[in-house]
Amino acid sequence: MIHASVSVDRSAIVAPVHRRLFGSFVEHLGRCVYDGLYEPGHPTADADGFRLDVVELVKELGTSTIRYPGGNFVSGYRWEDGVGPRSERPRRRDLAWHSLETNEVGLDEFARWARLTGSEVMYAVNLGTRGVIEALDVLEYANGPAGTTLADLRIANGGTEPYDIRMWCLGNEMDGPWQVGHMSAEDYGKLASRTAKAMKIADPGLELVVCGSSGSGMPTFGDWERTVLEHTYDDVEFISCHAYYQESGGDLGSFLASSLDMEYFISTVVATADHVKYKLRHEKTIMLSFDEWNIWYLEEHQAREAELAAADTDGSREWPYAPRLLEDVYTAADAVVLGNLLITLLSHADRVTSASLAQLVNVIAPIMTEPGGEAWRQTTFFPFSVTSRLARGVVLRPRIEVGSYPTAKHGAAPLVDAVATFDEETGTAAVFLVNRSLSEAATVTVDLSSLGVTAITEALVLHDDDPYAKNTRDDPERVALCAVDAAIAAGVVTVELPAVSWVALAVS
């Protein structure tokens, strides 16, 4: 049996709990939009064609900000294609995902969908194949008051009030050779600076996100951030981080410690951003937008795509509409890792103030749908929805005493990880924990006596005796949250975490 001691001091405040940490991501990719959010013939569809059963699940998930419309898709996207009468919208080939885009859903429809879910839109502009003018045009269309051509066009298309989109991404993954319009850090930094300056002239209150690295393993990681920020530091509020994790080669132990790589990613970007801050003698501090993160079995998808591309010797490969792409089916272990990544994001809420789980529906997503049929929760749905619901007030950094275990990828990793939040106004707290051990349960004591709490109101565990158990269309409730035994005495909670598990405690 593993023994761990967690001590929470109400003075060990990291930062407020930022609601934008619980954002997600909708890209025109596979069945995320078409057959996911949008299915006009579905029994639950509204007048716009949006599935209301999906809307209800998104509300339950607790998303805040939704990044849209990409992703790699945005680097070849013409936003004008998605406005006006649907019957007149062009059909185009999407080079990012080798698919057919019908443009049935565009900015107007998505803004209405976001209102249904209570989410804020975070919009990405195309800096891969377009530039300053196009960014200004979509900004005017989205946010402009009546009296200009593009704002009046929005009004004519049904958007009577400005959408008031506050967060804007200046392109997507421009460091990646796979990106349409990929460019060097020097060239991108100059373009992003010009675009940001123009957008701030139009609306000084915008919050702008410049592209950071699309992974900590990129050969330009660190140097990319330095170069881009040296060009854009005056102009932006955030730099983006993207990270995806998967179990490789049967190494579950390393996979369960994936959050250590996220820790490394965050600390490196923070150090680089602060280096530029002091080099340029700035007072402003750049925050991090972790606007793509998830579990993604990318290696398998890349291998399949390479096979298809190699076989397309005469350019006759089909460009399908809403193909089933990247529809990973997640395990209990995947959900435990996702819960741990949320712990890491909360633990760094002093610098990571926005994050987007990529993606929302069908494509590497917590929500799955079947055309004409049901929608269901993947295993990863549960730690996200519970953390979004319970995390309130401020983040507290706990002191954790526990042993470690060896991993091939990350060295020694602590067997237990945790974070806490506390809402002074309501006197409620939440503690989120993971047990990374492959075989042993962990008895954990959590000292919350400094918070003045006396009762456990919820104690939930995500665990399955088979760490590879999944929720599927045929068995959508195979893995679910269960109650876990926990006791509190004199402000100290005692709880047992099964092997490979994620636990949430709510106390008051």
- Residues marked as catalytic: 173, 292
Are β-strands 375-377 and 367-369 bridged in parallel, bridged antiparallel, or unpaired? Answer: antiparallel
**Cα 462 to Cα 482: distance, rounded to the nearest angstrom:** 7
Q: Which residues pair with 431 in a beta bridge?
A: 420, 505
Round to whole Å and give the CA distance between 69 and 196.
19
Q: Where are the beta strands (DSSP E) in 246-329?
A: 287-295
Contact criterion met (CB below 8 Å) for 95 and 142: no
For residue 491, the Cα-to-chain-centroid distance in whole angstroms is 34
Q: What separation in angstroms does the CA of 205 have from each of 2, 154, 209, 479?
A: 50, 21, 13, 44
Distance between CA 383 and CA 336 in Å, rounded?
8
CA distance linking residue 427 with residue 53, whole number of Å: 34
In angstroms, the Cα distances linking 7 to 4, 290, 394, 429, 439 are: 10, 28, 16, 13, 25
Q: For 359-485, list the strands marked E by DSSP.
A: 367-369, 375-377, 394-396, 399-401, 404-407, 411-414, 416-423, 428-435, 442-447, 456-462, 481-483
> Using alpha carbons only, what angle is made at residue 247 by residues 245 and 250, rounded to the nearest 5 degrees?
165
Residues with Cβ within 8 Å of 304's Cβ and at least 6 positions away in sequence, in order, are none
